[in-house]
Amino acid sequence: MNLLAEMSWDETKEYLARDNRLILPLGATEEHGRHLGLGTDHIEAEAIALGVGEQTDVVVAPTLNYGMSHAQLGFAGTLSLRPTTLIAILEDLFRSLYRHGFRRVLVVNGHGGNTASLTSTVQTLALEFKNLRVKNFEWWTDQESYRVIIDMLGEQVGSHASPGETAFMLAVRPSAVKLDRLTGRDAPVKPSREFTTMNTFAQKYPDGIMGLDPRMATREAGEALLKKSIEICVRELENW
């Protein structure tokens, strides 16, 4: 596997002579209920990225472990970047990659709060770097990957620290799952036109869980989700 963190500059130059693709995992450090580690989003993104890198030999960049998590700042341990800070970081990373010869970047994003900043970054840089191509994969917004969770756990399991994400963590980092800390409360996600902010998130979801009781999660569902996510990303790279 080609890990940028373990490659020398000379090895990187040799890689770029034959391939200009790169996998960039993005995550966050934020609350995920009483039962999941704060690193859930970057752990999941990295697990997918490493699996894709292993199957394709496309170089995998180090994971960005911090993201835009302002809504979760009411919970201890959440570390958030301002949207403008995240945009600046992403712009600098993409500029560095482009300077060295990377032209096709598959972003594996593990946190929904990063999406707006990533979109803004790509649209801005496209005005300057006409050969830069970026794809974004988010397992919970991709119909094909999320279908695995629906088929195995049900239609309305939720979106944050709920059964789907818990299943994923049971598969990739079971030591960061503490189901015994759960209270067994469902917190269905209700559609709303109001933005969810730090002032409203904790009121709606006082334990930090958006969805059904995570104890319905299974490791088998998480393993199937990981496998499908890797399969989709491999296909995206091979057809690019």
Q: Looking at the whole model, is its pTM more than 0.85?
A: yes
pLDDT digits (tens, 9 = 90+) for 103-152: 999 999 999 999 999 999 999 999 999 999 999 999 999 999 999 999 99
C-alpha–C-alpha distance, residues 90 and 101, integer Å: 17
Q: Does the domain spanning 4-238 belong to CATH 3.40.470.10?
A: no
pLDDT digits (tens, 9 = 90+) for 41-52: 999 999 999 999
pLDDT at 156 over 90: no
pLDDT at 190: 77
Inter-residue contact 139 to 48 (CB < 8 Å): yes
Query: What residues does each domain of the chain span?
Result: 4-238
pLDDT digits (tens, 9 = 90+) for 75-95: 999 999 999 999 999 999 999
Q: What is the mean pLDDT of the chain?
A: 95
| Kind and range of the H or E run holding 71 | none
pLDDT at 229: 98
* 189 closest CA partner among 212, 218, 163: 212
pLDDT digits (tens, 9 = 90+) for 172-198: 999 999 999 998 777 777 778 989 899
Tokens linked to 30 = 């934020």
pLDDT at 157: 80
Strands 21-26, 210-211: pairing is unpaired
